[in-house]
Structure 1
Amino acid sequence: MQNVRKTIIIHLDKLEKDLLAKLDNEERKQCKNIDSLIEKISEMGKHVDQIENDLKQIKQHASDFQTFFGLHEWNKKIEKDEKVLMSLQSDKILDSADIHIEYSPILMKFETDVKEFGKLEVKSSSSQKNFLKKEKQGQIFVPISNTVDNIKMTSIRSFKTPDGISSNIFITGIGMFDDGKIVFADNQHLNKRLVIMNREGNFIKNIQLDDRCFDVAVIDKDTVASTLVEKKKIVIVDVNSSRVQRYILSSAECYGIIFSGEQLVVNLPKTIQFVDPSGNSWSTLSTVNNSMYCSVLDEKLYYTSHNSEAVYSTKLNGEVLWKYDCQKYDYPTSITNDASGNIFVACTESDRLVVLGNDGKTYKILRTKENGLQKPRALHYDPLSTADHSSYCFNFNDNLYYTTRSSDVHLAFASEFNGEVHWKFDNKKSVHLIGITNVASGGIFVAYKDRQPDATYYYTTILEQYFTYQPAFIDFDELQ
């Protein structure tokens, strides 16, 4: 803030210095004009005095003829002086000059219009470190960057959404609450509803809307936002009361919508717009082609264009970073990201789910029609599932010890900081390895939870101790 204030003061001092210099130059110019005018008028005054003196002499000594001839010469001189006087008037040299300063309007309104020094904004981004070195025992949670090659999909469950007014259901949007509840946007022209179910596929409730809803975004545990395409507006809904809190009008048909944590990001034809949930602070980003879905991660925007069969990555100012060309007739629609920046794309017409690397160069087909995928449209990535690709680690005697789990692999490792593995412990049990620490003698403790429903959670290595609640972090107290 001090730097900003100093910059403003320096800039204002420069503007003041420039204005004073202009004022000084203008003052000198006006003074020069006045001196020139005084000189000319003084010269004319001398001419008048000379004519008056000559007139007195003629009256005393000259004949009538000489007087007539003298008057003719005097008329010439008077006419010449009159022309000079007229030119002074036409050139506005005789006009009075007042110097006024008209201040810049922004300065005059500075006190009333500038009501805050700045806006405080906190932005967080995921760590890209693979491990951390720690001199004392204890574990650190470390996100592990996931690459396209090691991404695998395992089907957990499938379920059917209940019928609405029509048994024809057209799901074009999906969102997920932190507690695992799922909300679907049913875009069927008769249903016009949001469907809420739990993660096991049990129906909770319908929320009827006054128009077809295209997409839905979860704002918080009680609130969602949905796009009403034909009415060109966004509806904010309280899911507990099923009541509409407010509408946000749009300038055009609105399609995909996500919540970035601060703003709603909405797809419009040829543009993507940002607005806060109260409807303020609209900003617009132009897109290369029409898009219906987008995703935002780490100050980057990703969107699909079904018209050009492509996926685009851009900065938030619209500058295109890369373009990925899909196959012909893919018809890319919904798009989302994982924490590592990988991009998941639903290809509706080719019945495919594709993942792209964050550079837009590598890709992998995750699901096809052969896997039971049919016309995928709505896509959502649960950020809470990133724990499935995470590690807890500690450093002891310049060795790194860490746990990891991905799909059905649950391992504990000991390695050097260059990544060379000394040994690994393959846990054959169906459990999730979590926290890890050691004792001074080198013994290693690992916390894990049983994957079976309603099982007791415990940690083990040298001993097993059962707990009522799931352990996560472990630390060894050297003083006890």
Structure 2
Amino acid sequence: MKLNIWACLILPDGKSIILDHNKKQLLLFSTEGIFIRKVVTFTKYPWDACFARNYTVAVTLGLANQTALVDVNKSKIIQKIKVSHNCYGVASDGKTLVISSDGGQCTTVNLNDMSHTIVEGMGGMYYISLFQGNIYGNNYNKNEVCCYKSTGEPLWTYHHQDIDYPVGITLDINGFVYIVSRENSSIVVVSPEGKNSKTILSNADGIKSPHAIDINREAGMMIVSSDISDDKSYETAFVYKI
């Protein structure tokens, strides 16, 4: 199957979700990595995805200024969240959904009543993650990893030569930040306080031009996308125990 992976997720039951940007599709795979079915096809180009809650996946629709909530079991879009900015990165802790843009704005959405709050001053974060009330993001124009309070107040910024064009981002149960460093085909882990880092996967491990990453914190499982052809026309996803 020819894939263009912009997001990959491990669901609570161990199955995987792949977001194919070119085909505008959300795809479901078994715990063994076998294709099960297409979940939904979007009319707009999707950008990022995260597990929201109750077997629902949130998918950002980029320049459409919308984020779709998709019921994976029912294979349908159950709601579209319209915001005032473009929708790139998305993250959830089961109670709050955070949607990022390239203009320094984020929108937080209360998943219980769907109320919106605009958060300013979080510049250029295309991909984000949410952990213990803080928002983490990558700025690939500056090769930086940033951590903010939910109010937008900056906590720390980390820059290192091993981080080159950071895209996907996620955190483990202990608060370590996992960064996809696309240009040097590696996965870099940054300490919870943003002081130091370590490369844990690289091209030598078979990782090539990765884009997306996700961790199921309860299961301790990580999924990472990777090219498997020189022309970048075929991609796959590897699952690791962490």
Tell me the TM-score normalised to structure 2 length: 0.84
Amino acid paired to 1:192: K
Whether 1:219 and 2:52 are equivalent positions in the alignment is yes
Q: Is the CA contact (8 Å cut-off) linking 2:85 and 2:105 kept in structure 1?
A: no
Q: Which residue is equivalent to 1:195?
A: 27
User: 2:213 and 2:163 mapped to 1: Cα distance?
Assistant: 19
Q: Which has the higher helix share?
A: 1
2:94 corresponding residue in structure 1: 261
| Cα separation, 1, equivalents of 2:122 and 2:43 | 32
- Cα distance, 1:302 vs. partner? 1.2
Aligned residues of 1:293 and 1:303 also touching (Cα < 8 A): yes
Is 1:384 aligned to residue 222 of structure 2? no
- 1:4 corresponds in structure 2 to none
Letter in 2 for 1:210: T
Would the aligned equivalents of 2:49 and 2:59 in 1 still touch at CA under 8 Å? Answer: yes
Q: How does 1:135-214 map to 2 (within 5 A)?
A: 162-163=1-2, 169-188=3-22, 191-206=23-38, 207-214=40-47
Name 1:235's counterpart in structure 2.
Answer: 68
Residue aligned with 1:370, SS: helix
1:134-160 Cα shifts (integer Å, max 9, x gaps): xxxxxxxxxxxxxxxxxxxxxxxxxxx
Instruction: Tell me how large the CA RMSD over aligned residues is.
Output: 2.1
User: Partners in 1 of 2:163 and 2:55 — Cα distance?
Assistant: 39
Separation in 2, partners of 1:200, 1:221 = 22
Larger radius of gyration: 1
Match of 2:219, SS state, is helix
Do structure 1's residue 290 and structure 2's residue 108 form an aligned pair?
no
Structure-2 separation of matches of 1:261 and 1:275: 11
The residue number in structure 1 matching 2:230 is none
Preserved CA contact (<8 Å) 2:136 2:146: yes
What is the deviation of 1:329?
7.4
Change (3 A) 1:290 1:279: farther
- Mapped to 2, the partners of 1:280 and 1:329 lie a distance apart of 35
Q: What do residues 386-436 of structure 1 show as CA deviations (whole Å, max 9, x unaligned)? A: 49xxxxxxxxxxxxxxxxxxx89xxxxxxxxxxxxxxxxxxxxxxxxxxxx
Give 2:153's aligned residue: 319
- The one-letter amino acid paired with 1:222 is Y
Match of 1:248 in 2: 81
2:173–2:218 Cα contact (<8 Å) kept: no
Inter-CA distance 268–376: structure 2 relative to 1 (3 Å threshold)? same
In structure 1, the partner of 2:231 is: none
Residue 336 of structure 1 deviates from its aligned partner by: 0.8
1:23-172 equivalences under 5 Å are 162-163=1-2, 169-172=3-6
Tell whether the 8 Å contact from 1:309 to 1:328 is kept in structure 2 after alignment: no
Task: Give the Cα separation in 1 of the matches to 2:205 and 2:71.
Answer: 36
Preserved CA contact (<8 Å) 1:296 1:302: yes
Q: 2:95 touches 2:112 (CA, 8 Å); kept in 1?
A: no
The correspondence for 1:351, drawn from 159, 182, 185, is: 185
Distance 2:89 2:153 in 1: 21
Q: 1:279 to 1:374 in 2, by over 3 A?
A: farther
Deviations 1:38-91 (A, max 9, x none): xxxxxxxxxxxxxxxxxxxxxxxxxxxxxxxxxxxxxxxxxxxxxxxxxxxxxx
The structure showing larger relative contact order (alpha-carbon pairs under 8 Å, at least 6 residues apart) is: 2
Amino acid at match of 2:50: A
Measured in 2, the distance between the counterparts of 1:278 and 1:186 equals 29
Structure 2 residue aligned with 1:112 = none
Deviation at 1:175, TM superposition (A): 2.0
User: CA–CA distance in 2 between the matches of 1:281 and 1:198?
Assistant: 34
Structure 2 distance, partners of 1:253, 1:229, is 5
Task: Confirm whether residue 365 of structure 1 aligns to residue 193 of structure 2.
Answer: no
Q: Distance in 2 between matches of 1:230 and 1:268?
A: 10
Does the residue aligned with 1:314 lie in a helix, a strand or coil? strand
> Compared with structure 1, are the counterparts of its residues 278 and 298 closer, same or farther at alpha carbon in structure 2 (3 Å cutoff)?
closer
Say which SS state the counterpart of residue 290 (structure 1) adopts: coil
Provide, for residues 163-184 of structure 1, a one-character-per-residue CA deviation record: whole Å limited to 9, x for no partner: 3xxxxx2211122221111111
What's the offset of the Cα at 1:221?
4.3
Per-residue deviation, 1:185: 1.1
* 1:279–1:212 Cα change, 3 Å: farther
Asked if structure 2 preserves the Cα contact closer than 8 Å seen for 1:232 and 1:252, the reply is yes
Shift of 1:326: 3.1
Task: State the alpha-carbon separation in 1 of the partners of residues 101 and 33 from structure 2.
Answer: 32
**1-side partners of 2:80 and 2:31: how far apart?**
29
1:332 matched to 2:184: no
Q: CA 1:278/1:257 → structure 2, altered by over 3 Å: closer, same or farther?
A: same
Deviations 1:174-209 (A, max 9, x none): 222211111111111xx1100110121111111211
**Contact 2:107/2:119 (8 A) holds in 1:** yes
Q: How much identity, in percent, do the aligned residues show?
A: 27
The alignment's TM-score, normalised by the length of structure 1, stands at 0.44
Q: Distance in 2 between matches of 1:241 and 1:317?
A: 35
Unaligned runs of 5+ in 2: 222-240
